[in-house]
Chain A
Amino acid sequence: MYTKKAPWQHRDTGLTIRMIVSFAVLTILYLVFLSVLAYVGLGAIPIALIAGMMILAQWYFSDRIVLWSSGAKVVTREQFPELHDLVELIVARNNLPKPRIAVINTKMPNAFATGKSKKSSVVAVTTGLMEMLDNEELEGVVAHELSHIKNRDVLVLTLASLFSTIAWYMMQFGMYGGMYGGGYGGRNRDNGGGMALVLLVAVITWFVSFLIIRAISRYREFVADRDGAMMTGKPVKLANALLKISGTMKRIPTQDLRQVEGMNAFFIVPAISGSSFTALFSTHPPVEQRVKKLMEMEASMS
């Protein structure tokens, strides 16, 4: 009974998978598109320009894409006065510009930040998050998101994905450029094998850079935890919030040890922990690790 996951965790896993799959499909499409451009004989410079424009567009529209796809609505002070107060308090104390505030109407507790610059940024929270957390915990989460903005993490991650494109691009034209039957202008009608190989290598390159981006992202989460905790001065509140959001808090037992001892062989059941496989793909480090680091901060503060 203790190994069961809270219902939201299934939803969260589903969402993560959906996002990974859609991101992967989009990226593969993008690579296929560039490969086709190369195959039909477009030169290196036009392809570079097109790829560059696509990256730029991705960055430029990132906040709108994120807001639109998440269903977040920017809210005014009149609609959510308490949320505005809470954000204003943190930005005032830490000398940050106030971001726009958005709310997503869903029971799933979550929050995110997006934006190209500190001024145009948006912090979004779900209604489920506001219901689940007390004021100080919500402050911790909002401060975490504000740290992402302060640290320009959207830009960092866009740059990271830019590198993956550059890596692909160099490979395409450096190593395998010769396979197109010499010269970019010359058509070769029976090099389907070469094309497949190029695609394969491109996909592998993308995959490796995908893992690197995920690793960077996990690292940025730790940084945002630390900076966010510094902003509020209460690491333990963010730790509490993380435990609530992840459902760990619900799994802290309330049943007496003496009662549990009566249930057969309970202590042999191994603890369920995230496998290294999911850890490799996730954008966020495991909650236990984040809580541990926050509590170390808390211990050093007291």
Chain B
Amino acid sequence: MLFSLSSGYITLETKLGLKVTGRCALTFKGVSGTYFYEMEQDVKRFLDSLNPEFDLAYRIVTDSYGYVWIILEGKRIEDLLAGLTAVGDTVEEKGFSDQILAAVFEFSSERQGGYQYLIYNYKRNNFYPFVPAGQKDRSTEQEMQIMAAVGDEMPFEKDMTRWYPMWDLPLRSRG
């Protein structure tokens, strides 16, 4: 499912001038316990093992909601998608599939400035756009443009009342 983005991002670039920044993340709800700790160690081991062949850097951050973020940075979208999918698989294999919330992909806009996001909701298995505009505002107009551009090409959430924002994404700097 995530891999539909490997063609979708080209459409976003040609139609809307959105560029992949090379930052993306997977987030799941943190819980305390040995199994969860082991799973986190597995994810780290896996990501460390990637390093020679894949050009990926990673960070692990826990946000104020108690969600764990595995943040990947890389140049090639294929590597990022493969990395996120593998991390997701590791989390699921260890029995934490219900904890996985979303994957987030960051884009930069030449026209509007700032960052725009595609959020992949693991509960609904589809993407939706999120374009923050200021502290707690969003640009529905730009979000609709994104849906119009790639809505038919990717598994997409057509019901706008399910486009839940994710404010203060930890994809940059913090943590």
Listed in ascending order, the chain A residues whose CB lies under 8 Å from chain B are 2, 236, 239-240, 243, 248-249, 251-261, 267, 271, 288, 291-292, 295-296, 298-299, 302
Contacts and interface: CB of A to CB of B under 8 A. Distances in A.
Interface in B113-153: 119, 121, 123-124, 136, 138, 140-141, 144-145, 147-149
A261 B122 CA distance: 11
- DSSP majority for the B interface? mixed
Max chain B Cβ within 10 angstroms of own Cβ: one of A253, A257, A295:
A257
B60 interface: no
Contacts of B138: 252, 254
Given A236-B141, A252-B160, A298 B148 contact: yes
Interface in B87-119: 101-102, 119
6 contacts: A240-B144, A252-B160, A252-B163, A257-B121, A258-B27, A302-B145
Interface of B: 15-16, 27, 29, 63, 65, 67, 101-102, 119, 121, 123-124, 136, 138, 140-141, 144-145, 147-149, 158-167
A291 B164 contact: no
Contacts of A259: 65
B166 A257 contact: yes
A236 B144 contact: yes
Contact of A299 (B65, B136, B140, B148): B148
Given A236-B145, A258-B65, A267-B123, A243 B161 contact: no
A258 B166 contact: yes
Contacts of B16: 302
